[in-house]
Chains A and B, each alone.
Chain A
Amino acid sequence: MSILQAVFVALLYYLCNSTWGLGVGWWTLMRPLVSGFLTGIILGDPTTGAVVGAQINVLYLGWIGAGGALPSDIALAGVVGTALAITGGVDANTAMALAVPVGLLGSIIWVTKMTLNTGYVRLAEKYAEKGDTKNFWIADTLLPQLMLFLFSFIPCFILVYFGASHIQTVLQFLGDKVVNVLSIIGGMLPAVGIALTLKSIFKGQSIIFFFLGFLLVQYFHLNSIAVGFLSLVITIVYMQINYMINPVKASTDPALATAKTEKKAFVLLDKRTIRRSWFNWIMFNQSNYNYERMQGTGFCRAMLPVINKLYPKDPEKRAERMKLQMQFFNTEPQWGACIVGLTAAFEEKKAQGAEDISDEMITSTKTGLMGPLAGIGDTIDGGVITPLLLSLFIGITGTTGNLAGPIGYIIVEAAFMWSIYWMSYKLGYEKGSEAILNFLESGRINQLILGASILGCMVLGSLVGNFVKLNVGINIPVGGDQIFNIQTQLFDAILPGILPLLLTLGCYWLLKKGWTSVQVILLLTAVGLAGGLLGILA
């Protein structure tokens, strides 16, 4: 690998974690399916990149980084795992076994960033004190991102550049036997990812569809696109029947209706200001993510266009508004965008002299709404939609590296997230808090979660046979020259893929019993090590 290539790979890793992903970097660049593909482009082999990225991504299908809790750095695992696989010439399974420890190590970067970013809050406070909307970005974006760049670029460059030049030597030193064991372990690990996703999606009635997805691939040999469409039809039929049995009732009780305030949008603010506020939110909501205020400065950044527009010649008023809007705030950026829109509307009304909008009321509405919307957002975006789309497009990428997989994923995932960002913000700004409440009470969210869970379970089931690898290598001599191969003549003959299925369900059971994912990974590593060295597993 040339120095230039290593520089680009390290730069890619920074971008995955950075604030420059147009609000969807977290959902696209960060996922190994995408970062592996992009690493492949840099190293001149996008197909292998997509295959390896897809494999690594199966482990992180159900990964949610909620509330600043991040158990593994999936971007680093994807980028470094793929880079080592391509330069080292190892298969996707071995790359997987190398990527996991890298991912765990990478979470240190996240915790360090979250801790140190608190320092920039102090600087942001100084700008707020002066009502300085112009230079606020230095504290909110420039400095934290510069620091993140150093923290990301340097370790990744070292890992990739020196790792790549030594991987061959290391693999030769280890010998075929050890590399084979690594490959066995890496082949088993996707079971943990699928099991983790099952735990977050699997709820009662959707559980059975996982097996349907599995069978469609194992017995009918349907390809992923066929599985996807068939699953969609089955889901719709199921939802229709479900609706006939339990019609969705909005839980709105007119007697409980809260006092409605007449609200007019676009009186003092214009469309351009609102668009800029929205853009600042999607772009910078976590540019200075920190343990003290979480998205506090990011929220203020989204309010700057509004504050500027309302108080262009009044630095004291701007200072007052900025200080108020950079308090502790944390929500799911997409679904929580309505809170940003709602706050813009509050600021607009307040500037018009509305007396019912006090600072206490703004803060309590913000902090009241941020939790519930994060709960809904994390469940839908991280818990259901993303695993569903990832499963589908990882299936399409397959083991041959169909580039429609990563590319299709980027397009569909980004389109979904941008739609939520925009619709949510608009709902909050134009229609206000009552509309947010009515939407939550309409029952549509639970319908969406149920439908996506069923679809997700089916597509997830279809991945088991192709991405979880577990083969028994025992041959029993049965007289003369004949041998009985347990794998091909027993398991493959009855139900191909039964071992991967059992392995996945076993992991699911352990996770349900309270094992952590790291413990399950360690157990599989031990099993793979023992089984591989003894020749029980092949």
Chain B
Amino acid sequence: MKNLTLTRIDDRLIHGQVVAFWMKEYSIDKILIIDDTLSKDMFMSRIYKAAAPAGVEVLLLDREEGLAFLKQEPTEKEGIFLIVKVPERIEELVNAGIEIPRVILGGMGARNDRKTFNRNVSASKSEIECFSRILAKGTHIVYQMIPSDKPIPIQNFIE
């Protein structure tokens, strides 16, 4: 099974906080995005690949391919940054036996079915339930925009 250097929930995927802060803090050479819609969108795939910093490979996979990739043997010195848009993707991976010790909650934009959760995170009822189920599996979820922010366990917002 692959080792994940960082795991983040962020619906803007690869953006300023990710590129200008997180990627500087950790040595990352692969960004793995698991998203069924995006993986089929040729235009957006090319945008994400072109927008990644030099020397960083972007893998845009659907759920099945993503899981298959994470189940492969790890290679030495591989730094993988998993980014997904919604907590459900994390839950599926955890349920499939992928080890994710810690998830960083970055941003989830406001939508009609979502309520503001904390600052730049909005979540629907079912998403909050999903957070709880992930927590119950022993995976930590912390709210943290950039590395210098203090990580706040999301239990603080749920309970």
Q: Is A328 part of the binding interface, using a Cβ–Cβ cutoff of 8 Å?
A: yes
Which chain B residue lies CB-closest to A380? B20
Comparing B11-19, B68-76, B126-134, the segment that makes contact with chain A is B11-19
* Residues from 440 to 495 in A contacting B, C-beta threshold 8 Å: 440-441, 446, 449-450
Q: Which of B20, B38, B109 contacts A200 (CB 8 A)?
A: B20
Q: Is A400 part of the binding interface, using a Cβ–Cβ cutoff of 8 Å?
A: no
Which chain B residue lies CB-closest to A115? B119
| With A258-B43, A433-B43 as contacts: A67 and B16 at CB distance below 8 Å | yes
Q: Is B64 part of the binding interface, using a Cβ–Cβ cutoff of 8 Å?
A: no
| With A114-B119, A292-B122 as contacts: A374 and B15 at CB distance below 8 Å | yes
| Bound-complex Cα distance A256 to B60 (A) | 15
Q: Is B116 part of the binding interface, using a Cβ–Cβ cutoff of 8 Å?
A: yes
Contacts of A118 in B (CB 8 A): 116
Q: Say how far A347's CB is from chain B's closest CB, in angstroms.
A: 19
* Residues from 362 to 393 in A contacting B, C-beta threshold 8 Å: 367-379, 382-383
Interface centre among B19, B38, B42, B146 (most CB of A within 10 A): B19
Q: How many residues of B contact A (CB 8 A)?
A: 39
Q: Is A223 part of the binding interface, using a Cβ–Cβ cutoff of 8 Å?
A: no
| Bound-complex Cα distance A69 to B107 (A) | 11
Q: Is B1 part of the binding interface, using a Cβ–Cβ cutoff of 8 Å?
A: no
Contacts of B148 in A (CB 8 A): 71, 516-518
| Bound-complex Cα distance A441 to B42 (A) | 14
Q: Is B49 part of the binding interface, using a Cβ–Cβ cutoff of 8 Å?
A: yes
Q: Say how far A417's CB is from chain B's closest CB, in angstroms.
A: 16
Q: Which of A69, A251, A433 contacts B17 (CB 8 A)?
A: A69
* Residues from 24 to 80 in B contacting A, C-beta threshold 8 Å: 24-25, 38, 41-44, 46-54
In contact, A291 and B12 (Cβ under 8 angstroms)? no
| Bound-complex Cα distance A327 to B109 (A) | 9
Q: Is A155 part of the binding interface, using a Cβ–Cβ cutoff of 8 Å?
A: no
Contacts of B11 in A (CB 8 A): 367
Q: Say how far B52's CB is from chain A's closest CB, in angstroms.
A: 8
Q: Is B152 part of the binding interface, using a Cβ–Cβ cutoff of 8 Å?
A: no
| Bound-complex Cα distance A448 to B51 (A) | 13
In contact, A68 and B47 (Cβ under 8 angstroms)? no
Contacts of B122 in A (CB 8 A): 292
Which chain A residue lies CB-closest to B37? A364
Which chain B residue lies CB-closest to A433? B43
In contact, A368 and B47 (Cβ under 8 angstroms)? yes
| Bound-complex Cα distance A293 to B46 (A) | 26
Contact with B along A29-71 (1 / 0, CB 8 A): 0000000000000000000000000000000000010111101
| With A69-B149, A328-B109 as contacts: A374 and B12 at CB distance below 8 Å | yes
* Residues from 214 to 257 in A contacting B, C-beta threshold 8 Å: 251, 256
Which chain B residue lies CB-closest to A447? B54
Contacts of B48 in A (CB 8 A): 372
| Bound-complex Cα distance A161 to B120 (A) | 35
In contact, B16 and A292 (Cβ under 8 angstroms)? no
| Bound-complex Cα distance A470 to B13 (A) | 43
In contact, A450 and B19 (Cβ under 8 angstroms)? no
| Bound-complex Cα distance A257 to B53 (A) | 22
Q: Is B145 part of the binding interface, using a Cβ–Cβ cutoff of 8 Å?
A: yes
| With A66-B17, A114-B119, A374-B12 as contacts: A293 and B110 at CB distance below 8 Å | yes
In contact, A256 and B46 (Cβ under 8 angstroms)? yes
Which chain A residue lies CB-closest to B53? A379
Contacts of B46 in A (CB 8 A): 256, 258, 437, 441
Binding site for B on A (CB under 8 A): 64, 66-69, 71, 114-115, 118, 199-200, 251, 256, 258, 291-294, 327-328, 330-332, 367-379, 382-383, 433, 436-437, 440-441, 446, 449-450, 514, 516-518
- The 16 listed contacts between A and B (C-beta, < 8 Å) are A66-B146, A67-B145, A69-B149, A71-B146, A292-B110, A292-B122, A330-B12, A330-B109, A368-B38, A371-B51, A372-B48, A440-B47, A440-B51, A441-B46, A517-B148, A518-B148
Ranked 3 nearest A-B pairs via Cβ:
A372-B51, A378-B16, A371-B12
Known contacts A330-B109, A371-B12, A433-B43, then 7 further A-B pairs from the complex at CB < 8 Å, ordered by chain A residue = A71-B149, A367-B109, A368-B41, A372-B15, A375-B14, A375-B19, A375-B20
